[in-house]
Amino acid sequence: MGVGEFCEIPQGVTAFKQASGLFKCARGVKPLCKISAKALILQEVQLIMPDNVREPVVQGMFYPANKDDLSKMIAAFLHDAKPSVRDDKGLLGLIAPHAGYVYSGQCAAYAYKLLKLKKFDTIIVLGPSHSTMLNGASVWQNGFYRTSLGDVEIDSEAASFLLDNGRDIEFYPMAHMQEHSIEVQIPFLQYVLKNKFKITPVVLGNQTYEYTKKLADTIYDLIQKKPDKYLIIASTDLSHYHTYDTAKRMDKNVIDLIKKRSLEPLTESIKTGRGEACGIGPVFTLLLLAEKCKTELIDILNVTNSGDVSGDKSRVVGYMSAEIYK
């Protein structure tokens, strides 16, 4: 199935398809309209999700809807992933792809296998928005994210901290309703981590270096008291829809700059089209956070693309996985 290869949005929650057009402010009543819009959004969320559960929208497309089938698939990916499991305590974050598991699941497994001996209280999952325009970012405030493997609780305290202290961070449900970049990370976490953990899902609409620096500062303030209790996931794919050789060249450019933590050249590479990464905002945020935490080691764990899986090398999507640690 090709849908999982490409970063396109499934039509899963039809009630929200045109929601962004429902809450436009009338001229001259902006303050009242702003309050009313938020209230209407929350009312709509409660009608559709009375238990405040963000339902999965790509299960059965990006990953199996059946719990047993999904568990077997993830187990096979982890078995075939090569890195050894290290019992270090300096892991800050992972970079992992977000395409359909048949295409990028094996690549993601190289990162998630490193978590087998670890415990974290909260996983902050940063994903790019593929469907919703945002000035900054949206954090899911409370409740649960659901996948084929069950429900994961939202860390409402962490979410509230980001909402209260971050710049242009809000709870905008529509940004999450059909966004796959965060959802596809969660089953791996559910399978690998054996302790009970919570998540803080953050969807980035603004992926500029300038904005992600502010976001990294806010996350740093959140985690600095208990840095070993948090893990950051930066969700991204690489180049999209180029020939195999072109994609390999573009992806190498981006990966080399990530490994060197050369953020200004990386920004320039993305702007000029020499490289591509649909989740460059999450990557920037993680690298900037690593700089503040003095967590300077980066290992590239796996690099591949959809052509390596499907055999079709005429139009591929690139993937990488990496770890950032002390």
pLDDT-wise least confident of 11-20, 45-54, 95-104: 11-20
Q: Residue 226 — pLDDT band, cuts 50, 70, 90? A: confident
Of residues 67 and 5, more confidence is placed in 67
User: Looking at this protein, which amino acid is placed at residue 271?
Assistant: K
Q: What is the pLDDT of residue 282?
A: 98
pLDDT digits (tens, 9 = 90+) for 13-32: 333 333 333 323 333 333 44
Q: Name the percent of the chain lying above pLDDT 90.
A: 74
In DSSP terms, which residues pair with 52 in a beta bridge? none
Sorted by sequence, the CB contacts under 8 Å of residue 83 that are 6+ apart come out as 110, 113, 114, 301
pLDDT digits (tens, 9 = 90+) for 114-128: 999 899 999 999 999
Verdict on whether the full-model pTM lies above 0.95: no
pLDDT-wise least confident of 10-19, 128-137, 143-152, 224-233: 10-19
Do residues 323 and 111 touch, judged by C-beta distance below 8 A?
yes
pLDDT digits (tens, 9 = 90+) for 247-299: 999 999 999 999 999 999 999 999 999 999 999 999 999 999 999 999 879 99
Pairwise CA distance, residues 127 & 59, whole Å:
17
Bin 150: left if φ > 0, else alpha if -120 < ψ < 50, else beta.
Answer: left
Q: Please report the DSSP string for 7-66 in residue order.
A: -------GGGTTGGGT-PPPTT-HHHHHHHHHHHHHHHHHHH-TT-EE--SSBTTTB-SS
User: How does the average pLDDT of the chain come out, rounded?
Assistant: 87
Do residues 204 and 172 touch, judged by C-beta distance below 8 A?
no
User: What b/e string do you get for 108-127 counting C-beta neighbours within 10 Å, with b at 16 or more?
Assistant: bbbbbbbbeebebebbbbbb
Beta strands in 106-228 (DSSP E): 122-128, 137-139, 144-147, 150-153, 169-170, 198-204
Pairwise CA distance, residues 269 & 2, whole Å:
28
Structural domain boundaries enclosing 68: 2-325
CB atoms within 10 A of CB 74: 23
Query: In the block, which residue shows the tokens 């949005």?
Result: 9
Q: What is the pLDDT of residue 263?
A: 94
Q: Residue 4 — pLDDT band, cuts 50, 70, 90? A: low
Q: What is the mean pLDDT of residues 205-210?
A: 94
SS3 label, residue 268: helix
Q: Residue 178 — pLDDT band, cuts 50, 70, 90? A: confident
Q: Name the percent of the chain lying above pLDDT 70.
A: 83
Pairwise CA distance, residues 263 & 281, whole Å:
11
Q: Beta 137-139 vs 169-170: how paired, if at all?
A: parallel
CATH number reported for the structural domain that contains residue 293 in this entry: 3.40.830.10
Do residues 324 and 133 touch, judged by C-beta distance below 8 A?
no
Q: What is the pLDDT of residue 39?
A: 58
Retrieve residue 202's tokens: 């953050």
Q: Residue 158 — pLDDT band, cuts 50, 70, 90? A: very high
Indicate the number of domains in the chain.
Answer: 1
Q: What is the pLDDT of residue 117?
A: 85
